[in-house]
Chain A
Amino acid sequence: MPHSFCCHSRFALLSWLTALAFLLPLALAIAETEVKIGISSQNVYLGETFVFQISVSGDSEPEAPAFPKTADFQVESLAPQRNQSTSISIINGRMTNTSVNETIFRYNLTATRTGTLRIPPIPVKVGGRVTHTQAVPVHVMAPEKMDDMALEVAVSSPECYVGQPVTVTWKWFIGRNVLNYRFSLPLLTEKDFSFPAHTPNLDPARRRDYRKIPLSSGDELIGILEQATRNGVPVSCLTFSLPMLPMQAGTVTFPASTVTFSVEDASRARRSRRQSLFDGFFDQTPTRTMTIAAPALSLNVKDLPAEGKPKNFSGIVGPCRVEVSASPRQVSVGDPIILTVHVSGPEYVDNLRIPALSECPELSRDFRVSGEEPGVVESNRKVFQCTLRAVDAQVKAIPALRVPFFNPASGHYEEALSEPISLEVEEVRTVTALDAQGLPTALPSNSGSKLETVTEGIAHNYGGDILLVDQRAGLATWPKTPWKIAFCLAWPCIYLLALGAVAWHRHRCADPGAIAAQRAAGKCLAALKRIQPDDASGPDLTLAALTDFLAAKLRRPPAAAQSFQDVQAPLAAAGIAPAELERLEKLFAGCEASRYAGATPDDLKQIPLEAAAIVKAINRAF
């Protein structure tokens, strides 16, 4: 018992140590993992972007936390940052090597309303466990109203048509020293508006006045800084503009544009507890972050009128001009002609489209149109190309193209016309064998004009008996022409008959003995019939015919059927009745006796008859 107790306790100890060896690293790993959060500011202005970060240390590859959806903040995830640090410490001669993996997940948050908002707890999955961060309160203040700082937004026209470009201009009046700034322009992400690519005209002479406008999205615009007066006070004014195309009709209120900036704040000077030797030298100037918003602005976007809209209207708003060019202009029928269409007029041509040229009736009547391209912008115009192929030699010109557009000034649809382009189209010449041989295709004629066929009119009637031949054919007529059905059925029947005949013939040829056996009775009876009643050799002939019959019937050579003893056993085995065998034996004996002792006339007469009867009986039994 003590032995078993010791065994048990040793086993238990080993088990615990093993478990500990496996679980300890896990425990250490869990213990080493740490999740921290950070926020750049808990007091922000409406529209101001601040940074929220989650730092995960310990796990080398943590999953990116999913920021829960919230209506209080616009969230922009930034690329995670990974830090790895290694430190070596030597204490009392013992060296310790420590390495730390840290991953920082950062988010740009922008509050969407004022008040005390809450960043919700965020689940972070680390090392197989899910940890939730703390909820963080954020105080969102309304943008400040300042007399010397203001942001204004204006549109070039209070109302416009769908697709008609307008210019949106932002003006920031700056009355104090601004250290850095960032604009938030949610209008640029509205899907009801399109902002075409725009490069402002820069005056090199005023290059010092231009400023970069950083946006909260990370893009940059270019603005110009000028001096202005506001409420009688001289201020600086930073101005920038963008062209905009409204895509939907209706009265639209622009979302508020804001600018967040930092200014010096002397009232919040920092005091350190210990005076530094370099007191005041390295001290930073305290700053304060402020945000101002532009007043609300609305735009009335009118839909294009349905009345008078051409069927091929492609959405061009604003007067436009169409110029076309074609190359080559001397072609054969079917040769490609590159048609280039230049459309200019609208201020912004990026999204400009023209009606499909392949559906233009003037073009499709005389040409096959292919290879239409979406168009390329070249300076102030858009260039479209397609390939035309003349359908016949009667084509003399590329007709004028009609491009409809809507004129906002007049409120009506108008058309831009291009100039027609003259062409020379030749017939396609058929290459013949004479061309291949290098011979002239036509012999020189010595008389005037070429004989041409008149294509108008119909050819002559047919006459005679050919009109009275019924030419109907096909499966529907077969019931009325039975010989066709019989013809089709006859062949398979003939084939089947032939197949049967061939099979029978082959079967017979495979066993010649059987054929001889079948024919033996007929042969024998014929031979017996030929014997004359008074023929002295009748018994011999009878015996010979009989032995041949028996040899063939028993499938033996003739020499093996010469006597009754030769055939008795096989005949009995074949089922011949004993009475018939007895008769056969007597016949054999009679024939032998007649050979040597002569035969009476009665015997000469009876022997063949008896033999015939026996042959028939044996044949029946076989």
Chain B
Amino acid sequence: MFSTSLPSVVLSAAIFFLAALGACAQGKSTLTAMQAAALCQEAEQLFNAGNDKYAAGDVAALDDWRKAAARYERLVNEGDYHNGALFYNLGNIYFRLDDIGRAILNYRRAQQFIPRDPNLLRNLAFVRSRCRDHVPEPERIRVLKTVFFWHYDLPPSWRENGFLATFAAAWVFALLCLWRRQRHWLRWCTAAFAFLALALASSLVVDEWNRQKHRPGVILGESVTARKGDSDSYEPSFTEPLHAGTEFTLIGSRGEWLEIALSDGRTCWVRRHQAELVNP
């Protein structure tokens, strides 16, 4: 007679659950590791070759840079590599190609992964200073960035690992509390790690919420007439057009038009092809 005991049921369920999770873990890369490494190496060589040609005054440098950018883009789109240094390199190449919009776009993408990288910060600040439009950041955002510096300055991977570590530590101390009930310091440790884990989890949740709610983007077109509505029949929103590199937050979209908000809160509509989101 077949007897189903509780341990065997639990074990079966765990195996099924992990198998299901494992199925979700499949990525969407169409490049093998070797192909990716080769592309990366080619891009680096082309970029360096372009630098040499530029130093010699050869206009063919632009072609080499474009090719290098294309290879890096393949690593992102086909290889599904999302890496701070990769986007940083792309930003540098687009700056060399005088495409301020795409340069800032890729720097912003790199900033999600290496937010405190000094080279990235310096380059982004420099390229932003070259933008024709200056839209001041509201004071409130600067205050938030100062108070919650750990949310804004630590890479997401650090915060995620920190959450997992503090989460495990909290449970370990909770387990110890089961055996040593009289030890008050164990409880304090449990509470402290639980608080840290909660703070880091909240940071991750806020990140995800911001990713869904506040979708940043960059104007790519050289001169973009922003309008008051989703049609060319609407009046322009500003006395001057927006220029490449102007950063915005997406509010909504209708067909070919995007409703955006500049960093000072003013809103307008631009055509979809004239801008790109940091996280499409």
Query: Are B85 and A485 touching (Cβ within 8 A)?
Result: no
**B113 at interface (Cβ–Cβ under 8 A)?**
yes
Where chain B touches its partner, the secondary structure class is helix
What residues on B are CB-neighbors of A473 within 8 Å? 155-157, 159-160
Query: Are A474 and B75 touching (Cβ within 8 A)?
Result: no
How far apart are A81's CB and chain B's nearest CB, in angstroms? 61
What residues on B are CB-neighbors of A476 within 8 Å? 208, 211
**B86 at interface (Cβ–Cβ under 8 A)?**
yes
Partner of A479, one of B17, B24, B171, B175: B24
Q: Which of B1-45 contact A (CB under 8 A)?
A: 17-18, 21-22, 24-27, 33, 36-37, 40, 44
Partner of A486, one of B18, B93, B205: B18
**B140 at interface (Cβ–Cβ under 8 A)?**
no
Partner of B82, one of A460, A466, A470, A491: A470
**B184 at interface (Cβ–Cβ under 8 A)?**
no
What residues on A are CB-neighbors of B86 within 8 Å? 467
What residues on A are CB-neighbors of B175 within 8 Å? 494-495, 498
Query: Are A468 and B157 touching (Cβ within 8 A)?
Result: no
**A471 at interface (Cβ–Cβ under 8 A)?**
yes
**A100 at interface (Cβ–Cβ under 8 A)?**
no
**A499 at interface (Cβ–Cβ under 8 A)?**
yes
How far apart are A339's CB and chain B's nearest CB, in angstroms? 24
What residues on A are CB-neighbors of B119 within 8 Å? 459-460
Q: Per-residue CB proximity of B107-151 to A under 8 Å, as 1/0?
A: 000000110000100110011000000000000000000000000
How far apart are A127's CB and chain B's nearest CB, in angstroms? 65
What residues on A are CB-neighbors of B24 within 8 Å? 479-480, 482
Bound-state CA distance A470–B127 (Å) is 26
Bound-state CA distance A366–B208 (Å) is 41
Do A471 and B207 form a contact, CB below 8 Å, given A458-B127, A487-B168? no
Query: Are A474 and B123 touching (Cβ within 8 A)?
Result: no
Query: Are B122 and A459 touching (Cβ within 8 A)?
Result: yes
Q: Which of A492-520 contact B (CB under 8 A)?
A: 492, 494-495, 498-499, 502
Query: Are B80 and A470 touching (Cβ within 8 A)?
Result: yes
What residue of chain A has the Cβ atom nearest to residue B129's Cβ? A455
Bound-state CA distance A268–B82 (Å) is 113
What residues on A are CB-neighbors of B82 within 8 Å? 470-472
How far apart are A238's CB and chain B's nearest CB, in angstroms? 61
**B95 at interface (Cβ–Cβ under 8 A)?**
yes
**B88 at interface (Cβ–Cβ under 8 A)?**
yes
Partner of B123, one of A459, A463, A484, A487: A459
What residues on B are CB-neighbors of A495 within 8 Å? 171, 174-175, 178
What residues on B are CB-neighbors of A279 within 8 Å? none
Partner of A467, one of B83, B155, B156, B179: B83
What residues on A are CB-neighbors of B84 within 8 Å? 471
Bound-state CA distance A491–B157 (Å) is 21
How far apart are A560's CB and chain B's nearest CB, in angstroms? 37
**A280 at interface (Cβ–Cβ under 8 A)?**
no
Bound-state CA distance A466–B22 (Å) is 26
Interface residues contributed by chain A, number (CB under 8 Å)? 37
**B92 at interface (Cβ–Cβ under 8 A)?**
yes
Query: Are B44 and A461 touching (Cβ within 8 A)?
Result: yes
What residue of chain A has the Cβ atom nearest to residue B279's Cβ? A476
**A462 at interface (Cβ–Cβ under 8 A)?**
yes
Bound-state CA distance A187–B206 (Å) is 67
Query: Are A457 and B126 touching (Cβ within 8 A)?
Result: yes
Partner of A470, one of B26, B37, B83, B159: B83
Query: Are B81 and A467 touching (Cβ within 8 A)?
Result: yes
What residue of chain B has the Cβ atom nearest to residue A457's Cβ? B126
Partner of B83, one of A466, A481, A487: A466
How far apart are B115's CB and chain A's nearest CB, in angstroms? 11
Bound-state CA distance A583–B95 (Å) is 101
Query: Are B156 and A491 touching (Cβ within 8 A)?
Result: no
**A488 at interface (Cβ–Cβ under 8 A)?**
yes
**A469 at interface (Cβ–Cβ under 8 A)?**
yes
**B49 at interface (Cβ–Cβ under 8 A)?**
no
Do A468 and B40 form a contact, CB below 8 Å, given A474-B208, A491-B168? yes
Q: Per-residue CB proximity of B157-195 to A under 8 Å, as 1/0?
A: 101100010011001001100110000000000000000
Bound-state CA distance A473–B115 (Å) is 13
What residues on B are CB-neighbors of A485 within 8 Å? 21
Bound-state CA distance A7–B96 (Å) is 123
What residues on B are CB-neighbors of A455 within 8 Å? 126
What residues on A are CB-neighbors of B75 within 8 Å? 467-468
Query: Are A475 and B25 touching (Cβ within 8 A)?
Result: no
Q: Per-residue CB proximity of A50-80 to B under 8 Å, as 1/0?
A: 0000000000000000000000000000000
**B47 at interface (Cβ–Cβ under 8 A)?**
yes
**A307 at interface (Cβ–Cβ under 8 A)?**
no
Query: Are B40 and A491 touching (Cβ within 8 A)?
Result: no
**B262 at interface (Cβ–Cβ under 8 A)?**
no
Beyond known contacts A457-B126, A480-B24, A480-B27: 11 more, CB 8 A cutoff: A458-B95, A461-B88, A468-B36, A468-B40, A471-B113, A480-B26, A484-B164, A486-B21, A491-B168, A499-B178, A502-B178
Q: Which residues of A contact B (CB under 8 A)?
A: 455-463, 465-476, 479-482, 484-488, 491-492, 494-495, 498-499, 502
